[in-house]
C-alpha cells in the first residue's frame, strides 16, 4: 500500500516580501515534491499564497487588511497560483488538481467524506491534489486562521505517514534565532506543552499569517491524530527527501498515538459542541486513563442546551477541556440525575442508555492520553 505524505508550503516560501509569486520557488518546490511522487509516495500539497499572489494584481500597495479586499485578492491570486503549479508540475509529467476547503466543510460529516473520496480518487490516478482554504467565500469567524491547521486536519483525514510543514526557519528554537544567536533548536519533540506555546513567536513575515505558534497547534492536532510531523526548511535539491528520511533541517514531532477513525476526527476537531459538562476527578480518570464511559455519578455541573445525539465538551474541576463526546441525555434529564448512582438514575428517569457519554462516542483531547 502506498504511503501518503502531506506537504504544507506557506506564503513566505512562495512569494517575495513585497507580494507576488516567486516562480523560481514554485519550480523548486514542484521538483522536490515530484521526487517524492516518483519514489512511490502519494503526495498532497497544502498551499498558502493566494492573497499574497493576488494583491499586487489588484493594485494594492501592501497586503490588504479588510475582508473584502483579501477575498478579492485571493480570487485573483488563486488562479495565478494554480497556473504556476500546473506549469511547474507538468514539466515533471505530473498532473495537479485544485481543492478549496473551509472549516464548515470539515464540520459537515457528509461534505468532508465527499472531499476525502475525491482526494482518494485523485491520488489513485497519480495526481497531486493541491489544497487551499477557500478565502474567497470564508468569513473571519470560520477561517482556519492559517493553513498550518488545515494541513494537520488534511493529514489526519488521509491518515498520512507524515506531515511536513515548510517554513523559512529551520525548526523550533528556544528563542527566535533571528534575534538571539544563542537560541537552541529543538530537534525532537514528543509532547506538546505550554512551554512550547510560550516560546513560539508571532507571524514571521509581512505576507504570511501563520507564525510558529500556529505550527505548534498544528503539531498538536496531527500528533493527536497519529501523524508525525516535521517543521523546517527546504532550500536545496533533495532536502525534502531528507526530511522524510529523518535527516531534515528542522524539528521532528513524534507521536505514539494511532491514526484516528474519521468519526473521531470529526468529533474531536470539527464538531460544534452544544453544551459543557463538568466532571469530578474520578470521572476524569475513568475517561482519560481507564477508557471508561461517563456515568451520571461523575457529573458535577451542566451548561448549554443539548439533546441526545448532540456533541458536548467535557471539562474537569479546573475547567480544563479533557475531551468531547456524543451525549445520550437532554440537559434537563442530566440536571435531574447529576451525581447520582446508576440505580438512582433508573428510578428517576427513562433513557435509552445509562451512560451520559459512551466510550465509543468519546475522544480525549490531549496528546498525552489515549482515546
Beta-sheet pairing, 162-166 with 185-186? unpaired
Separation between Cα atoms, residue 285 and residue 283, nearest integer Å: 5
Asked whether residue 369 is assigned to any structural domain, the reply reads no
Separation between Cα atoms, residue 365 and residue 359, nearest integer Å: 14
Separation between Cα atoms, residue 56 and residue 62, nearest integer Å: 8
- Sign, Cα dihedral of 32, 235, 55, 153: positive
Separation between Cα atoms, residue 85 and residue 72, nearest integer Å: 20
pLDDT > 60? residue 151: yes
| Residue 355 and residue 289 share a domain | yes
pLDDT > 90? residue 8: yes
| Residue 285 and residue 257 share a domain | no
pLDDT category at 91 given cuts 50, 70, 90 is: very high
pLDDT > 60? residue 145: no
Q: What is the mean pLDDT of residues 97-112?
A: 86
Separation between Cα atoms, residue 29 and residue 88, nearest integer Å: 9
> By C-alpha distance, which of 73, 26, 18 is closest to 45?
26
| Residue 285 and residue 252 share a domain | no
The predicted structure's pLDDT at residue 282: 96
| Residue 333 and residue 199 share a domain | no
Separation between Cα atoms, residue 248 and residue 163, nearest integer Å: 13
Q: What is the mean pLDDT of residues 331-355?
A: 93
> By C-alpha distance, which of 106, 104, 103, 47 is closest to 77?
47
| Residue 304 and residue 250 share a domain | no
| Residue 288 and residue 255 share a domain | no
Domain boundary among 263, 296, 323: 263
DSSP 240-255: HHHHHTT--EEEEE--
Separation between Cα atoms, residue 338 and residue 280, nearest integer Å: 11
| Residue 285 and residue 241 share a domain | no
Q: What is the mean pLDDT of residues 269-291?
A: 92
Separation between Cα atoms, residue 282 and residue 121, nearest integer Å: 46
DSSP 228-240: -EEEEE--STTHH
Report the CATH number that the domain containing residue 70 is assigned in CATH. 3.40.1160.10
Q: What are phi and psi of 354, to 5 degrees?
A: -75, -25
Domain boundary among 241, 263, 285: 263
Asked whether residue 371 is assigned to any structural domain, the reply reads no
The predicted structure's pLDDT at residue 138: 64
Domain boundary among 263, 294, 322: 263
Separation between Cα atoms, residue 23 and residue 360, nearest integer Å: 49
The predicted structure's pLDDT at residue 198: 78
| Residue 259 and residue 284 share a domain | no
Domain count, the chain: 2
Separation between Cα atoms, residue 365 and residue 288, nearest integer Å: 9
**How does pLDDT run across 219-246, given as a tens digit for each residue?**
988 998 899 999 999 999 999 999 999 9
User: Edge-to-edge, what's the strand order for the sheet holding 4-9?
Assistant: 96-101, 128-133, 42-47, 4-9, 162-166, 229-233, 249-253, 188-189
The predicted structure's pLDDT at residue 366: 64
Report the CATH number that the domain containing residue 327 is assigned in CATH. 2.30.130.10
With beta carbons less than 8 A apart as the criterion, state whether 218 and 227 touch: no
The predicted structure's pLDDT at residue 208: 38
| Continuous H helices in the chain | 11-14, 23-38, 50-54, 67-90, 103-107, 109-124, 147-157, 194-199, 212-224, 239-244, 262-265, 281-288, 331-337, 342-348
| Residue 234 and residue 142 share a domain | yes
**How does pLDDT run across 180-218, given as a tens digit for each residue?**
888 889 999 998 887 887 777 544 444 333 478 888 989
Q: Which residues neighbour 60 within 8 Å (Cβ) at sequence distance 6 or greater?
A: 69, 73
Instruction: Please state the separation of Cα 302 from the chain's center in Å.
Output: 29
Asked whether residue 232 is assigned to any structural domain, the reply reads yes
Q: Of 27-31, 96-100, 347-351, which gets the smallest average pLDDT?
A: 347-351
**Parent domain of 349:** 272-364
Q: Which residue has the higher pLDDT, 324 or 64?
A: 324
> By C-alpha distance, which of 163, 158, 137 is closest to 148?
163
| Residue 189 and residue 60 share a domain | yes
The predicted structure's pLDDT at residue 206: 40
Separation between Cα atoms, residue 67 and residue 48, nearest integer Å: 17
Of all residues in the chain, what percent carry a pLDDT higher than 70?
93
Amino acid at each position: 500500500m502506498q504511503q501518503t505524505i502531506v506537504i504544507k508550503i506557506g506564503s513566505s516560501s512562495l512569494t517575495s516580501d513585497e507580494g507576488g509569486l516567486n516562480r523560481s520557488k514554485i519550480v523548486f518546490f514542484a521538483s522536490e515534491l515530484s521526487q517524492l511522487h516518483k519514489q512511490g509516495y502519494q503526495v498532497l500539497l497544502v498551499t498558502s499564497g493566494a492573497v499574497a499572489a493576488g494583491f499586487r494584481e489588484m493594485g494594492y500597495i501592501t497586503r490588504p487588511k479588510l475582508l473584502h479586499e483579501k477575498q478579492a485578492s485571493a480570487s485573483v491570486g488563486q488562479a495565478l497560483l494554480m497556473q504556476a503549479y500546473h506549469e511547474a508540475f507538468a514539466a515533471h509529467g505530473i498532473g495537479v488538481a485544485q481543492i478549496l476547503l473551509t472549516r464548515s466543510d470539515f464540520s459537515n460529516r457528509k461534505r468532508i467524506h465527499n472531499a476525502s473520496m475525491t482526494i482518494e480518487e485523485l491520488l489513485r490516478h497519480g495526481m497531486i491534489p493541491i489544497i487551499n482554504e477557500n478565502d474567497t467565500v470564508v468569513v473571519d469567524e470560520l477561517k482556519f486562521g492559517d493553513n498550518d491547521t488545515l494541513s494537520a486536519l488534511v493529514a489526519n483525514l488521509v491518515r498520512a505517514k507524515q506531515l511536513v510543514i515548510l517554513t523559512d526557519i529551520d525548526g523550533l528554537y528556544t528563542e527566535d534565532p533571528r534575534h538571539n544567536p544563542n537560541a537552541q533548536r529543538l530537534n525532537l519533540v514528543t509532547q506538546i506543552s505550554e512551554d512550547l506555546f510560550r516560546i513560539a513567536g508571532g507571524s514571521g513575515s509581512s505576507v504570511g499569517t501563520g507564525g510558529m505558534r500556529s505550527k505548534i497547534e498544528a503539531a498538536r492536532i496531527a500528533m493527536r491524530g497519529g501523524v508525525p510531523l516535521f517543521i523546517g526548511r527546504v532550500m536545496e535539491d533533495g532536502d525534502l527527501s531528507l526530511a522524510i528520511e529523518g535527516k531534515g533541517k528542522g524539528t521532528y514531532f513524534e507521536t505514539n498515538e494511532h491514526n484516528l477513525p474519521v468519526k473521531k476526527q470529526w468529533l474531536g476537531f470539527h464538531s460544534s459542541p452544544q453544551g459543557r459538562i463538568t466532571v469530578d476527578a474520578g470521572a476524569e480518570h475513568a475517561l482519560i486513563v481507564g477508557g471508561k464511559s461517563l456515568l451520571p455519578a461523575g457529573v458535577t455541573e451542566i451548561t448549554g442546551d443539548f439533546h441526545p445525539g448532540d456533541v458536548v465538551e467535557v471539562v474537569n474541576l479546573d475547567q480544563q477541556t479533557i475531551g468531547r463526546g456524543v451525549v445520550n441525555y437532554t440537559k434537563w434529564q442530566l440536571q435531574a440525575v447529576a451525581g447520582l448512582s446508576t440505580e438512582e438514575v433508573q428510578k428517576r428517569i427513562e433513557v435509552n442508555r445509562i451512560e451520559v457519554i459512551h466510550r465509543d462516542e468519546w475522544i480525549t483531547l490531549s496528546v498525552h492520553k489515549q482515546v
